[in-house]
Structure 1
């Protein structure tokens, strides 16, 4: 296969209510697959929604804030877990269609939350990528991932991997992923604002791969709706009410080619962005730049990657 149909589902999540979010994701992913897409990408933490209150609600980071505590409890209760049976419809869709589906989620491991970009692939277990460094206020919600979830899925047409948000400004994480030889890279963002678009396009050229930069569309009313679906909470509602803006995630998804050019660009609303990728462009670009090969200078630079799971406890 040299031509690969792909899609970015730029949509509003169902914040806090994971079960409803999975139902919506399955419906939208199925529509994209039925439209011909072999790779379908959703934005950062589509399942559960991006925790906007950390950036937008005054006082959310104060010690023992009742609204922040209440929202954290809801996220823990709602989060997906490893081998979560609620995710089976996404796996079944990948199995029956042969498509790869990449979607962000709040994941609970023991009693901590992770930001995980899940890759569902036909006939194989889900591929995890847990965000290595939660950005700024996100550290109030998410644990750091480890090197055990740096990886790619090898399809018959090439390989697909992912990084989340500001991981695209971690030079060694990028170098590790480039070494894995991605054909398609999913860059998961809450909103693909200008700086994030630049990072995504830079990644495409540096890694000589196609990049699906996937953003969310999320409004304050979505948070209220999801909160009620998740059982409601007065302290959480009060915190959300303190958010001054109405529209909080503004999409902006794009698909970039290995020369950093933009193949397709979304607006700020809900839409499914589609493109057909000419995988032959990758080899053409490698003629001048291969950052993992003839541009790497292994005699000067060496990267060591620890892929052991770091659970912190040995029994």
Structure 2
């Protein structure tokens, strides 16, 4: 296939909620299916591994010193991913074997921040199976702050993929103009936006970012239904008491560099959505607008980005 053409697979799936081993198996099956369908990049939704913290909005999650909330949180932490311990190794091996890049939304419990706090993280694995960036969500949204910690700018990175330059953000940080600009300034022309899953989140912003950046924009959402909570979930009765039948309805979609739909939002459908993108469309639309190129004024407006990984303790040997 031409270097200008890239086949992408949007994995709109549900997790095996807060079961990282079972969810990893589901992720691996999706990667294999995408590769066999000619996929060169597969993208999974926000926090899919092992799942979005849905209990926060439907239980008394802010109750202070509450045993139930502590036990649910501990279960979440036990199923979070520790990348430095090799817990993504099987995914990396699949990516390398099938020459497919992966953007994977997960919940991370990193040792470089003590190994106990949780971060909403977007990991990029290249076609050689190497982890190239680990982006921790800059600002958890609203009730997410009860369980996730704020990240840093270290993961604001872009990556070459055939003719494209890809970058990504988690959910509502896609609304942060300066976070988007940090990626544009590094040459991004294929923007990945990952979401827990809702058409209401993706139907407007996907096209808006495409128009603003003159890039392809891929929004990938998860699915979550009341029936998707495993029976072994701690305090399942409390979680289900006020739980709607559908928590995440999908909404995965693709907009082209002109802001028009390549793939309109898809709701309530589990599986892979596959599309081939043509890089030449980016060059066509940059002719009249380029937000960090000919249509910018760095002598008047500039963005400064701190990409240093933040740590609480620094040791000098």
- Name the CA distance, whole Å, in 2 between partners of 1:83 and 1:154: 24
Kept after mapping to 2: 8 A contact 1:158/1:183: yes
Alignment size in residue pairs: 307
- Name the CA distance, whole Å, in 2 between partners of 1:34 and 1:172: 37
How far 1:14 moved relative to its partner?
1.1
Kept after mapping to 1: 8 A contact 2:6/2:162: no
| Match for residue 145 of structure 2 among 135, 139, 143 | 139
Unaligned runs of 5+ in 2: none
| Match for residue 183 of structure 2 among 170, 177, 188 | 177
- Name the CA distance, whole Å, in 2 between partners of 1:33 and 1:83: 26
Per the alignment, do residues 155 and 312 of structure 1 end up closer, same or farther by CA in structure 2, a change over 3 Å counting? same
Corresponding position of 2:238: 239
Per the alignment, do residues 122 and 83 of structure 1 end up closer, same or farther by CA in structure 2, a change over 3 Å counting? farther
- Name the CA distance, whole Å, in 2 between partners of 1:149 and 1:97: 25
Per the alignment, do residues 65 and 197 of structure 1 end up closer, same or farther by CA in structure 2, a change over 3 Å counting? farther
Corresponding position of 2:204: 198
When normalised by structure 1's length, the TM-score is: 0.93
1:94-148 deviation digits (Å, cap 9, x = unpaired): 1122211111111002211000011111233342111000000000111111111
Corresponding position of 2:60: 59
Per the alignment, do residues 30 and 84 of structure 1 end up closer, same or farther by CA in structure 2, a change over 3 Å counting? farther
RMSD (Å) for aligned C-alpha atoms: 1.4
SS of 1:128's equivalent? strand
1:243-280 deviation digits (Å, cap 9, x = unpaired): 33111110011011111111113222212111110110
1:48-93 deviation digits (Å, cap 9, x = unpaired): 11111112x1422222233321111011111111234231121011
SS of 2:109's equivalent? strand
Corresponding position of 1:275: 275
Kept after mapping to 2: 8 A contact 1:192/1:213: no
Corresponding position of 2:102: 101
| Match for residue 120 of structure 1 among 109, 125, 148 | 125
Corresponding position of 1:7: 9
- Name the CA distance, whole Å, in 2 between partners of 1:194 and 1:72: 27
1:271-299 deviation digits (Å, cap 9, x = unpaired): 21111101100000100110011222111
SS of 1:127's equivalent? strand
